[in-house]
Amino acid sequence: GKGDASIIEKRLTTHDRFKDKIEYMPIDEKLIPPGPLTFTLNIMKYVKDEKLADDFADFVCSDGQEIFERHGFTSIHSARGLELIERFGVKDV
């Protein structure tokens, strides 16, 4: 209830655009199920810096996709990403 946005992938928080602006909390790896995993990005209702949270979400959904792909993730914009979205029922609301 105290976060502005949440994402499990720490590497994006070290990008020059967000470095030293974003806090993160580690998640014990035993709590993360085996893949393939789908990740969601949310902006919290009571965000303190809405502009920063919106900028981060926009980045993750655009330029950040290349960072995910470079580290072995499947982009949501790829054919495989679209297939995973359909298989796991992840839909934008």
What is the residue-level pLDDT of the chain in tens, covering all 93 positions? 566 655 556 666 777 877 788 777 777 778 777 766 666 677 888 888 889 889 988 988 888 888 878 887 887 778 887 887 777 766 654
Q: What are phi and psi of 6, to 5 degrees?
A: -135, 145
Q: Which long-range contacts (CB under 8 A, 24 or more apart) does 7-10 make?
A: 7/39, 7/41, 7/60, 8/32, 8/39, 9/39, 9/68, 9/73
Query: In the prediction, which pLDDT does 75 show?
Result: 77
Query: In the prediction, which pLDDT does 33 show?
Result: 72
Query: In the prediction, which pLDDT does 93 show?
Result: 47
Query: In the prediction, which pLDDT does 90 show?
Result: 62
What is this structure's pTM?
0.52
Give the CA distances from residue 68 to residues 6, 38, 81, in Å, rounded to whole numbers and listed in that order: 16, 12, 12
